[in-house]
Each structure stands twice: as C-alpha cells, then as structure tokens.
Structure 1
Amino acid sequence: MKQSVLIIGSSNTDMVVKTEHFPKPGETVLGGTFLMNPGGKGANQAVAAARLDADVRFVAKTGNDIFGKQALEGFKKEGIDTRFMTESAGLASGVALITVNAQGQNEIVVASGANMDLHPADIADNAFENVTLALLQLEIPAETVRWALAKCAEKEIRAVLNPAPAMELGREFLNGLYLITPNETETELITGITVEGEETLQKAAQYLFDLGVQNVIITLGSKGIYLAGEGFTGIIPTPVVEAVDSTAAGDVFNGALLKALADGKTLEQASHFACRAAAISVTRMGAQSSAPYQHEIDSFFN
C-alpha cells in the first residue's frame, strides 16, 4: 500500500553543459553535450520518491512561463500530487546552470526566481493532512522552512531536513527534527566541525543531537553515509559504480530514503536502499532523469 509523503521545496530547469574541465576565472572552455532537464532539489526528491512508488504530495512555486508549465506537466506524468503548487505573479521559474566535468563532478549556479516567492501563506493547511513524513530543503525562503517544520511538529509528522544548499542553522530549525541529512560541507557549516574521519563524524552528530535532532545522516559522496540514530551508528558504504554525473545524487538519496521510511523500514534499512538508488543515479546524466525506478534497483544489483 502506498504511503503519503509531503515534499516542500524548489523546482528548477537545469541547463547542463559537459566539459573536460571546469574553467578558471576569466577562462572560456569549449564544452560538449548540452542538456536541458527538469531539476530543483525539492522536485528532484519528489520525482525520486514517486518513481519508487511513493504517494508524493509536492508543494512548490513556479513562474507563469514555459519552464513552470513544463515542470507541472512533468510532475503529473510522474504521478505526483500537484494540487498544492502555486504560481508566482511576478517572478520567473527557477533556473540552474550546471557544468559537469569529465570525472562526473559538477559546479552549479542557481537563479531561484519563484522558489524564493514560496511563503507560508501559499501553503494550504490541508497539505499536511494524512501525511506520515515530510521532507524539506533550503532552496526556498528560510522563514517558510521554519514554519513548515513547526507545522509538522504540531501535526506530529516526522520531518526530514536536507540542509542544502549549505547555510548556518539555529536551534529553531533543529529542535525536535526527526532526521537531518547534510553532506560534509553542510555539516561543517552547521556544526563548525570539519569532517575528517569517524571521530569527527561522531562529534558532529553529537552536536546536532544536543540541538534536539533525533537522528543524523551525513552523506559522504562515493564513501557512503554516516548514520547515527535508532540503534545504529556507523558508516554504510555505497555500491561502487562508474560515475558520469553526480548532479542529483543527494536528492535521489533523500527521496529514496523517504520512500523506504514511509514503507516502515528502519533508518539502517532505508539508508542501504537509498545508497543503492543514489549509486544508480550517478551513472546517468541529468537530475530528475537520473532517478531510478524500483525495478531498475532490483535488476541493477542482481
């Protein structure tokens, strides 16, 4: 049986260029393949969860333009509930400019547009009804994230915060949070602790526990994740694959994690599942287009 999950976040159109190496300041390099794909952290996570058969309710704001209309059409094709999406009267839909080098690494510049016009008044109260889990990121206004987390606490919805892009977060974001999923850079910005090994991972997790977070996952790229919570503490490795594009790996991880948790999996079980989904995603170009379906996870690792 499908479980309802709520994702509140951003929707962008990604414009991607592949090149051998990133340009230095003032340098022009000739790129290769150009791709234009639907993206945005919230949208990527919503699509990732939906492709794994989660019942996804997505809240976002787009502009009154072709990018916004294409995004909405795409969400509907993925089976995502878009009833609570809204349209900005004065701002364009979000756009991300992405460069991917020969090693599959990426550099991203985002023009947020309508994403930064998503305010608490835009989110209907019944968007939170019949929801088991909620997932948020930081590509929408901080005040909206704080308000939504407080609403989740009020309605006893387990809230997951993917604190990306990196920013400093106070206790008002973290106290009572079910789960936080920063990467190494985000962890250092939030905690002030440079992640250099398991000892520093433990210290960073304890810092977050002291601020009221119940469970911590620190993503470590190709090295896997560090999980602290619900009876398990340690590193969970990710499958070894040949990376082509890491653009949405973190988003696929978070969407898959949400799906597995909604299915009643433990955090440890959900983390193994999400690492597999993320590993598949880096073998493909694009953001949402890289998110695997359930049958692909089964076949890829068998």
Structure 2
Amino acid sequence: MVLVPGANHTLSVEDITKQEALFDSCDILLTQLEVPLSVVEKAVELAYSKGKTVILNPAPAQVLSPKLLKMVHYLTPNEHELATISREKVESIDDAIQASHQVISLGVEHVITTLGAKGSIHVTQDSHDLVHSEPMQPVDTTGAGDAYNAGLATGLLTGLSVLDTMHLATKVSRKVIMKEGAQPSIPTMEEI
C-alpha cells in the first residue's frame, strides 16, 4: 500500500476552524494521521473541548505529543504504531500491554492495539482484554485497520461495551480482508 498525500496535505487548521459547528452535532471524532498533524491536533482539541469522544488511529506511525495524547479517549494503533508512540519494542502480547501502559501514562484512557491474525487487545490503566481473531486466509488486507476503526466507532455510538465493540470491529475488518480492494470490501451493517 502506498500513501500519496495529494489533497490530504492541503487541508489546513483554518479549514477545521471554519467547520467548528460540525463538532457540535457529532458524538465521536474518528481521525488518523494522513493529514497534517496540526490539522489533527486542532480537530482533536475542538472535539475534546466540546466533550466529544476522540478516537485516534495513529496511522501512518509517528511520534505524538503528550498534549495531543491527553485529549484522546481511544488510541487504536497496530503493533508498529504502538512501538513508535511508546518508543518500546512490541513483539508479543506482553510487549503490547507494557507499551500500552507507557502510552496510558501520557494521558490516553484506552489503547486498543490491532494485532493482525492474533486479534486485538484493549488496555486501560487497570485492566486488559484480548479479543482473538478466527484463523482465515485473507484475500487483501488493505483497509482492514480503517474498517476496524469504523466498526469501533459504530459500536461505541450504539452503546456497546468496549469488549463487544471490539468483537464488532473484528467482524467488520474480517469482512474487508476477504474481498479485493479497500473501498469495495467495506461491508454494511446488514452484512455484519
């Protein structure tokens, strides 16, 4: 997969500020790092200041400031992204738990790390839960992380527990990896 920023990198802080009213009518901000970091920081700041739930998928991987992380309710890295943010190696589930605690110490409430075929793990200051993924032969993994995050946001919006939300997100991403192409493989809720 190749990222060609193009129009994404023309998005500005002013563009976000001009649309501030949209933050009043949302419940969750789901964002990632494919736009300038200053834009992500402004969007997170606006959502957080208005009491909205903030989900940050830190892709592509980069070091993030403690100021930004303190405003994130759910950080959803993969293993590589978690290693970058925590500055710790992540080669096992125990490593993921330890690195998640490092990130939580910076202010994030929930770290949900996707572990590929091993599933995903939810870590808070006081607990951790692993959601296993069923063995399968993927057709195309492009978009699986994005689909997982969409499932996560959907589950949270509908009032599911975090664990049930992770199961939903896993089902969504499993549907995506069983079809060719990032866009055509995105399922509807009826398909889930």
3-state SS of 1:291 partner: coil
The answer to whether the aligner puts 1:117 opposite 2:14 as a matched pair is no
Instruction: Indicate the residue corresponding to 1:81 in structure 2.
Output: none
Mapping for residues 110-259 of structure 1, pairs under 5 Å:
110-123=3-16, 124-229=19-124, 233-259=128-154
- Which amino acid in the other structure matches residue 174 of structure 2? A
3-state SS of 1:286 partner: coil
The answer to whether the aligner puts 1:272 opposite 2:167 as a matched pair is yes
Instruction: Indicate the residue corresponding to 1:292 in structure 2.
Output: 187
CA shift for structure 1 position 255 = 0.4
- The answer on whether the counterparts of 1:230 and 1:267 sit within 8 Å (CA) in structure 2 is no
- The answer on whether the counterparts of 1:215 and 1:229 sit within 8 Å (CA) in structure 2 is yes
- Larger Rg, first or second structure (1 or 2): 1
RMSD: 1.4
Higher relative contact order structure (alpha carbons within 8 Å, sequence separation ≥ 6): 1
Instruction: Indicate the residue corresponding to 1:60 in structure 2.
Output: none
Mapping for residues 56-67 of structure 1, pairs under 5 Å:
none
3-state SS of 1:238 partner: coil
Cα distance in 2 for partners of 1:230, 1:133 equals 22
3-state SS of 1:289 partner: coil
- Which amino acid in the other structure matches residue 288 of structure 1? Q
Mean Cα displacement is larger for which, 187-196 or 231-240?
A: 231-240
Show structure 1 runs of 4+ deviating over 4 A. Answer: none
Instruction: Give the paired residue count.
Output: 190
Query: Between Structure 1 and Structure 2, which shows a larger proportion of strand residues?
Result: 1
3-state SS of 1:109 partner: coil
Is there any run of 5+ residues in structure 1 with no aligned partner, and where?
1-107, 298-302
Cα distance in 2 for partners of 1:184, 1:197 equals 9
When normalised by structure 1's length, the TM-score is 0.61
Is there any run of 5+ residues in structure 2 with no aligned partner, and where?
none
CA deviation string 1:39-58 (max 9, x = no partner):
xxxxxxxxxxxxxxxxxxxx
Percent of residue pairs bearing the same amino acid type:
33
- The answer on whether the counterparts of 1:239 and 1:275 sit within 8 Å (CA) in structure 2 is no
Cα distance in 2 for partners of 1:232, 1:188 equals 20
CA shift for structure 1 position 234 = 2.5
CA shift for structure 1 position 241 = 2.4
CA shift for structure 1 position 161 = 0.2
CA deviation string 1:73-123 (max 9, x = no partner):
xxxxxxxxxxxxxxxxxxxxxxxxxxxxxxxxxxx2222111001112112
3-state SS of 1:135 partner: strand
Instruction: Indicate the residue corresponding to 1:47 in structure 2.
Output: none
